[in-house]
């Protein structure tokens, strides 16, 4: 199975020893993505909804660089610093998807930095 890595300049690069996204065969795995400014790596947005929307823009840029879109996403992970932000984040998330929705895991992750939302996903790029 061929494995490839491509860095997308339209989304923040990884801040550690991990790839922004990895394609393995017909699947594209995106690492945890947040609302970081692409150039400064400062957190953008002050609410969970704002941060989620910015993060989704980054995800769309990564998917597009691999010839995919949100319609190809089969699995999402939603990680919230504060579980109390769930309804707000979920409403913003719903702006990006229509049925059939991808499978999703939502967790109160208690992240160590001030980012309220992180997302990861898996997209299927086959036929």
The torsion of the CA quartet 20, 22, 23, 25, rounded to 10 degrees, works out to -160
Q: What is the mean pLDDT of residues 9-27?
A: 88
What DSSP line would sit under 14-48, residue for residue? PSSSS-SEEEETTEEEEEEE--B-TTT--B--SSH
Q: What is the mean pLDDT of residues 7-35?
A: 90
pLDDT of residue 114: 79
pLDDT of residue 15: 75
Residues contacting residue 109 through CB under 8 Å, at least 6 positions apart: 79, 80, 81, 118
What are the pLDDT digits (tens) for 49-84?
Answer: 999 999 999 999 999 999 999 999 999 999 999 999
Say if domain 3-124 classifies as CATH 3.40.50.720: no
User: Does position 90 have pLDDT exceeding 70, yes or no?
Assistant: yes
Quote the pTM value.
Answer: 0.93
What DSSP line would sit under 92-111, residue for residue? HHHTT--SSPPEEEEEE---
Domain range list for the chain? 3-124
Cis peptide leading into residue 79 (ω within 30°): no
Quickly state the pLDDT bin for 111 (edges 50, 70, 90): low
CB 30 within 8 A of CB 59: yes
């Amino acid at each position: 199975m061929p494995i490839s890595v491509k860095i997308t300049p339209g989304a923040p690069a990884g801040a550690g020893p991990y790839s922004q996204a990895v394609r393995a065969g017909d699947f594209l795995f995106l690492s945890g993505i947040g609302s970081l400014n692409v150039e400064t790596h400062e957190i953008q947005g002050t609410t969970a909804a704002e941060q989620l929307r910015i993060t989704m823009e980054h995800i769309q840029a990564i998917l597009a660089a691999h010839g995919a879109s949100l319609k190809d996403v089969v699995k999402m992970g939603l990680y919230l610093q504060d579980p109390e932000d769930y309804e707000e984040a979920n409403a913003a998330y719903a702006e990006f998807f229509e049925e059939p929705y991808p499978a999703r895991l939502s967790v109160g992750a208690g992240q160590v930095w001030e980012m309220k939302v992180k997302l990861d996903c898996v997209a299927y790029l086959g036929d």
